Structure 1
Amino acid sequence: MSNSFVLVINSGSSSLKFAIIDSVTGDAMVSGLGECFGTPQASMSWKFEGNKTEEAVNTSENHHQYAISRLVDLVEQWGYNDKLVAVGHRIVHGGEKFTSTVRIDQSVLAEIENLADLAPLHNPAGATGIRAAITAFPVLPQFAVFDTAFHQTMPKKAFTGGIAKELYTEYGIRRYGFHGTSHYYVSREAAKMLSKDVNECSFISVHLGNGASVCAINNGNSVDTSMGFTPLAGLMMGTRSGDLDPGIIEFLMKKGWSQEQVFETLNKKSGFLGVSGLTSDARGILEAMENGHEGAKLAFEVFTYRVAKFIGSYLIPLDHLDAIIFTGGIGENSLPIRSEILSNLKLLGFIEDKTANADARFGASGTIATSELLNAVAMVIPTNEEFVIAQQSVELL
């Protein structure tokens, strides 16, 4: 195939990320973001050949529709009009229906919309992005890559909740997991770095960003993951609480809290922001901690302790451990957070290489710790979810 460029679209409820990816090298030829859709502050920005451009989106038209129609003009302006071979869409929830990337047709689109109950903020936005892209690029094949697909190899004992089975059979309530494309990508890259077949490798993949999750990968397959029925479960995150006693929800509602107040707090006012009382950003937490802010220090300790606890528990489903992989914005860049997590894993024998840990930041990968006890390493690998979407789209062509 002479051309290997894929337009990758990630449509959120009030945003639209896009990139033109070389599906062979993984390089982003163009990357951009539309944000604050539905508000007067709506804007689009993009980076092409090292130059960044930003413009306001002032239109009464649907902002997602406008952004993609604007993309059509830009694609032509950038000279990629005849070079694109496909459009790949990141879709958050595939339920149990979608276990791998699929080519989009009307039945697939309808199923994505049917799964809106499981991801009410994300799947309708993803469907909007697909419809707009089909209108804008009617000749190009379109593909859906699902966040949940990689985790469909989890055994029943890992995805089944300790609840009445009718809740699963009637409503599909189970552990689904997210960040699948990220965990998939870094596990394949880690196998290459170790010069091993990924199907013989076992990893604990730690994706730390504003959203965060841990995944146990045995012989190349996801066998457990920390996010659950929704992305609210598992680790404490930027604004999400992570795991908590469900009895707290009943307690707060008896105190007069509405359902909306409870879940607004758990999703948007908890995590780093809630515990610190200051910020949801890990960089702000570290800066405030250095200045003696007690709330920031506690947020740092809670976060790193919980990550280490999950890592320790995820040895259980593995045959052996080849590596712990740190990725995501925090996992790739935050030296103090990685160091603290590793220090919490001392019983597993991990000894940090402080120089290597300092070097493996800002786009650089590398091994940052070793455990003779487990014959394993800890490594940093920058994730590239767009590359996975582009690759899998081209593979299906």
Structure 2
Amino acid sequence: MKKVLSINSGSSSLKISLFAMPSEQRLAKIMVDYSNETNQLVTITLPNHELIAQHYTGKITPVELALDLLKKHQIITTSQEITAIGHRIVAGGELFQHSTKITPEVIQKLESISELAPLHNPANIAGILDAELLLPNCPQIAVFDTSFHTDLPPENFLYALPLEYYRKYKVRKYGAHGTSHRFVAQQAAKMLKLPLSKLKLITLHLGSGASVTAIKNGKSFDTSMGFSPLTGLMMSTRCGDVDPSALVYLLKHHAFSNMDECMKVLNQHSGLLGVSEVSRDMREIERESTRNPQAELAIKMFVKRICDYIGAYWLELGGADALVFTGGIGENDNHVRELICERLNCLGIKFESIQNQYHDSPFDFATADSQAHLLVIPTDEELMIARDTYELTSTKQSFSKSAVNY
């Protein structure tokens, strides 16, 4: 048995799980919620499903916090029991198209492409360096969100810019959330009792960050996030798709003092927060929506943009066997799921309202005559990270795939 630590740094939370491999038994799960920056909530779930919550305001690093909690609750006796560490890395660009063992050279390459995911990659790298300091002899593996999208056809990953910008600067669609989309697609195939290679799926990762992916024959065919995780759907604090001319206009009229401020607004002050002016949290926005028109508008915009992408991918795939909802909103917000599915009636999508509201995940809330299944599947990015980490540290292999030449 090997104990593998999986570290999943998101834009609003940090999830760390310890697995016994290859049995895939989760020994503990730790979550740090960054929603309240001054009073972060830390929860640890133990094997007996006991949930312990505490508030965290100290300066301790996330990996150090995880190790302390694991020892405190006697999940491990010493840090040396951990045999490998897997890290979720949002953006690998074309440098990293498969999970790979982390070396000093890999860290340098990651630093060189931090601009592709400015909210995530620097934090991911910090986690790697932190783990290296605390567990210097423990092998570490990078698992990339972008790797699932490396099979996109060129008509889907290229922008209609001069092709020289792709050749010289590698400006293209990379996508994100690939670890989550990959996991729920595999789970959907199990639920439907069909080979993933035979399915057409539209997977919706709806959380603080949000994206939609069209999956054809088990591979990502198109996805809503682009060059960075900023584009695509409207998100918690990210704007999603915006006409570039609008940004040039705002810069010319000094709405932003410089490009850095512009990027900060687009990444941290837009989306649900920017429109509602209430919160970045969908739960709070929904509570306010009955008396606050801006909160109601934010929900309508969020749903509308999701349906825009579903409609586009429905056409690209020629229909779909299932829509898969995952992520914090996708898994837990039956109201948002209902609003989305109501707009899809013209596609023959039909759902059971009661089934949508009261059911343990995973489940299917489509009617028998619906044109597609409506699956709610909890994502488990940490398990996918653990699987890749165990495989690479057991076989001592890493993979690299050359860029497509055009």
TM-score normalised by length of structure 2:
0.86
Which residue number in structure 2 is paired with residue 301 of structure 1? 300
Residue type of the alignment partner of 1:277: E
Q: Is 2:120 the partner of 1:122?
A: yes
Pick aligned residue for 2:228 from 230, 233, 249: 230
Residue type of the alignment partner of 2:274: G
CA–CA separation in structure 2 for the residues paired with 1:17 and 1:195: 30
Which residue number in structure 2 is paired with residue 21 of structure 1? 19
CA–CA separation in structure 2 for the residues paired with 1:378 and 1:279: 29
Which residue number in structure 2 is paired with residue 367 of structure 1? 364
Residue type of the alignment partner of 1:339: E
Which residue number in structure 2 is paired with residue 315 of structure 1? 314
Residue type of the alignment partner of 1:367: D
Tell me how far 1:34 sits from its aligned partner. Answer: 5.5
Contact kept? 2:202, 2:212, Cα under 8 Å: yes
Which residue number in structure 2 is paired with residue 324 of structure 1? 323
Contact kept? 1:6, 1:88, Cα under 8 Å: yes
Q: Is 2:360 the partner of 1:383?
A: no
CA–CA separation in structure 1 for the residues paired with 2:199 and 2:361: 22
Matches within 5 A, 1:91-110: 91-110=89-108
Tell me how far 1:270 sits from its aligned partner. Answer: 1.8
Unaligned runs of 5+ in 1: none
Structure 1, residues 164-204: CA drift from partner, whole Å, max 9, x if none? Answer: 22222222211111111110000000000000111111100
Please say which of residues 26-35 and 155-164 is displaced more in the overlay: 26-35
The 1:170/1:304 distance shift into structure 2, 3 A limit, reads same
Q: Is 2:244 the partner of 1:246?
A: yes
Tell me how far 1:119 sits from its aligned partner. Answer: 2.4
Which residue number in structure 1 is paired with residue 346 of structure 2? 347
The 1:155/1:239 distance shift into structure 2, 3 A limit, reads same
Contact kept? 1:218, 1:319, Cα under 8 Å: no
Unaligned runs of 5+ in 2: 395-406
Which residue number in structure 1 is paired with residue 391 of structure 2? 395
Residue type of the alignment partner of 2:242: L
Q: Is 2:258 the partner of 1:263?
A: no
CA–CA separation in structure 2 for the residues paired with 1:335 and 1:16: 24
The 1:274/1:203 distance shift into structure 2, 3 A limit, reads same
The 1:56/1:326 distance shift into structure 2, 3 A limit, reads closer
Q: Is 2:107 the partner of 1:112?
A: no
Residue type of the alignment partner of 2:334: L
CA RMSD after TM alignment: 2.5
Which residue number in structure 2 is paired with residue 279 of structure 1? 279
The DSSP-based 3-state class of the residue aligned with 2:113 is: helix
Which residue number in structure 2 is paired with residue 208 of structure 1? 206
Tell me how far 1:325 sits from its aligned partner. Answer: 0.3
The DSSP-based 3-state class of the residue aligned with 1:316 is: helix
Contact kept? 1:277, 1:295, Cα under 8 Å: yes
Count the aligned residue pairs.
Answer: 383
Contact kept? 1:348, 1:371, Cα under 8 Å: no
CA–CA separation in structure 1 for the residues paired with 2:178 and 2:304: 23
The DSSP-based 3-state class of the residue aligned with 1:351 is: coil
The 1:332/1:121 distance shift into structure 2, 3 A limit, reads closer
Which residue number in structure 2 is paired with residue 217 of structure 1? 215
Contact kept? 2:200, 2:321, Cα under 8 Å: yes
CA–CA separation in structure 1 for the residues paired with 2:146 and 2:268: 22
CA–CA separation in structure 1 for the residues paired with 2:238 and 2:391: 35
Structure 1, residues 319-371: CA drift from partner, whole Å, max 9, x if none? Answer: 552100011111111111111111111111011111211124xx611111248
Residue type of the alignment partner of 1:309: D
CA–CA separation in structure 1 for the residues paired with 2:31 and 2:368: 41
Contact kept? 2:31, 2:44, Cα under 8 Å: no
Matches within 5 A, 1:68-147: 68-77=63-72, 78-80=74-76, 81=78, 83-147=81-145
Tell me how far 1:72 sits from its aligned partner. Answer: 4.2
Contact kept? 2:18, 2:29, Cα under 8 Å: yes
Residue type of the alignment partner of 2:276: S
Contact kept? 1:21, 1:386, Cα under 8 Å: no
Tell me how far 1:306 sits from its aligned partner. Answer: 1.2
The DSSP-based 3-state class of the residue aligned with 1:342 is: helix
CA–CA separation in structure 2 for the residues paired with 1:173 and 1:370: 42
Tell me how far 1:151 sits from its aligned partner. Answer: 0.7
The 1:332/1:346 distance shift into structure 2, 3 A limit, reads same
CA–CA separation in structure 1 for the residues paired with 2:128 and 2:270: 32
Please say which of residues 239-248 and 317-326 is displaced more in the overlay: 317-326
Tell me how far 1:311 sits from its aligned partner. Answer: 0.4
